[in-house]
């Protein structure tokens, strides 16, 4: 991952040094389990704990020679420990350590994502309640449909975040699993009791069955969950990008005092943060596909997955975390242009009320085909003759025969479309956590 998109929390988790520290965490848990079973003397175990450490330079030096990172790691730690180093990695295969430690790294990364997802959820919910009665035009196919409220739009974002929480929780359960079962998963040189104790020490579930590796559907679930999260963040960013267009101008992403929008055109305020979020979502979806392709390994294991995971795991979590942080920045600081929302509601000269007129005609006894033809005919004249929808309706004999002006005007009430907004919001907690009364 390039420096531009790294977050400090993910940098710490996915740094090479911390990955080796996590390997050591697993190795020490295995040594403790062996010590408790009487296979490693207690004094030797204490010596291993006290003297083992990570020496990146030495690990790299050994790896240059042996071309195997786990052997280099074990050899380096054993050198620090001395003769008792012979007990390190006892009965294990490389993937016992790598996969179990990866489960720790992935679980801890999910915890960070979940924590900041909670922050952005709270911010969106607060904004949703704040603007729950702010009328704006709804759009389908990019075309004006019927009035909604801006808070209602935000409430949809909040609800998707709740689904993201559930998906992250499920993915964490799937991947928070360890395996200490040997070269092909049969415990030939390391009994199941060791695996059970190691996983308990590390706070992981034990895999009920594995091969030399943990099966990669678990990890694909994590990557797919991040891809879904990223796609949801893209949906928000893309919405704001549209609402910031000059022709729309209802919402603006934050623009700092000294920020520049264009090297050529000083007037520009471009939605660059939202565009960046949209681009990053494409990467996450690509990583999800790569992770799925890691599932069908040869027999009990090959290493075609290994090089892929070295790239996509740290990158995916850095990107996801960065996207959440940037989306939070956008939502916290976006400008809501209420005047622009009113202007756009009026832009179609009342056409957004067409279904209300249609239903009123049905109540008068018209069949649906007749009513639709009357309303559509007036609507088309509104487009072509640059008259208001109300004016074109008032010139239709069928309308004049069945409605007086007051009744007709009553159909052009924005508040009618928002009459159940509070009912919808009552399904959700108010900012601060309590359900609406």
Residue with tokens 């639709």: 372
Residue with tokens 């004999």: 397
Q: Which of 154, 175, 165 lies closest to 116 in space, CA to CA?
A: 165
CB 318 within 8 A of CB 10: yes
CB 320 within 8 A of CB 284: yes
Q: Which of 405, 406, 379 lies closest to 392 in space, CA to CA?
A: 379
Nearby residues of 86 by Cβ (< 8 Å), 6 or more positions away: 78
CB 277 within 8 A of CB 237: yes
Nearby residues of 421 by Cβ (< 8 Å), 6 or more positions away: 132, 133, 149, 151, 152
User: 314: which 2 tokens?
Assistant: 């740290």
Which residues are catalytic, by number?
A: 141, 262
- Classify residue 430 by its DSSP letter: P
Beta-bridge mates of residue 429? 435
> Alpha-carbon distance 384 to 330, whole Å?
39
Q: Where are the beta strands (DSSP E) in 271-367?
A: 335-336
Which H/E stretch holds residue 139? strand 135-140
> Alpha-carbon distance 308 to 324, whole Å?
24
CB 389 within 8 A of CB 146: no
User: 117: which 2 tokens?
Assistant: 């997802």
């Amino acid at each position: 991952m390039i420096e531009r998109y790294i977050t400090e929390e993910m940098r710490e988790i996915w740094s090479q040094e911390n990955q080796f520290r996590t390997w050591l965490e697993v190795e020490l848990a295995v040594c403790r389990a062996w010590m408790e079973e009487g296979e490693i003397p207690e004094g030797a175990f204490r010596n291993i704990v006290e003297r083992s450490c990570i020496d990146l330079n030495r690990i790299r030096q050994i790896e240059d020679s042996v071309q195997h990172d786990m052997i280099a790691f074990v050899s380096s730690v054993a050198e620090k420990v001395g003769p008792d180093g012979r007990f390190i990695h006892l009965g294990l295969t490389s993937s016992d350590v790598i996969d179990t430690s990866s489960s720790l790294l992935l679980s801890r990364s999910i915890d960070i994502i979940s924590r900041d997802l909670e922050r952005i959820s709270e911010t969106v919910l607060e904004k949703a309640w704040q603007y729950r009665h702010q009328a704006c035009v709804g759009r389908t196919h990019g075309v004006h449909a019927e009035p909604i409220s801006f808070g209602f739009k935000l409430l949809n974002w909040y609800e998707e975040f709740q689904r993201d929480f559930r998906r992250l929780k499920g993915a964490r359960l799937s991947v928070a699993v360890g395996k200490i079962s040997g070269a092909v998963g049969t415990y030939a040189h390391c009994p199941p009791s060791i695996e059970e104790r190691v996983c308990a020490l590390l706070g992981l579930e034990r895999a009920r069955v594995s091969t030399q590796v943990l099966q990669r559907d678990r990890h694909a679930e994590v990557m797919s969950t991040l891809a879904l999260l990223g796609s949801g963040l893209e949906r928000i960013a893309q919405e704001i990008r549209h609402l910031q267009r000059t022709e729309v101008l209802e919402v603006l992403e934050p623009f700092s005092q000294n920020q520049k929008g264009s090297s050529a055109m000083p007037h520009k305020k471009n939605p660059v943060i939202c565009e960046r979020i949209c681009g990053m979502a494409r990467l996450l979806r690509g990583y999800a596909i790569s992770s799925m392709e890691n599932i069908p390994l040869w027999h009990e294991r090959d290493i075609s997955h290994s090089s892929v995971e070295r790239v996509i795991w740290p990158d995916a979590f850095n990107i996801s975390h960065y996207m959440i942080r940037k989306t939070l920045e956008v939502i916290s600081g976006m400008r809501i242009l209420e005047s622009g929302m009113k202007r756009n509601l009026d832009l179609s000269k009342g056409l957004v009320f067409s279904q209300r007129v249609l239903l009123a005609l049905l109540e008068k006894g018209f069949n649906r085909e007749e009513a639709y033809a009357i309303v559509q005919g007036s609507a088309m004249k509104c487009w072509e003759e640059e008259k208001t929808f109300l004016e074109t309706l008032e010139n239709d004999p069928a309308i004049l025969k069945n409605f007086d002006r007051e009744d007709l005007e009553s159909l052009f009430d924005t508040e009618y479309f928002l009459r159940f907004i509070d009912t919808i919001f009552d399904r959700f907690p108010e900012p601060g956590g309590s359900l609406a009364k």
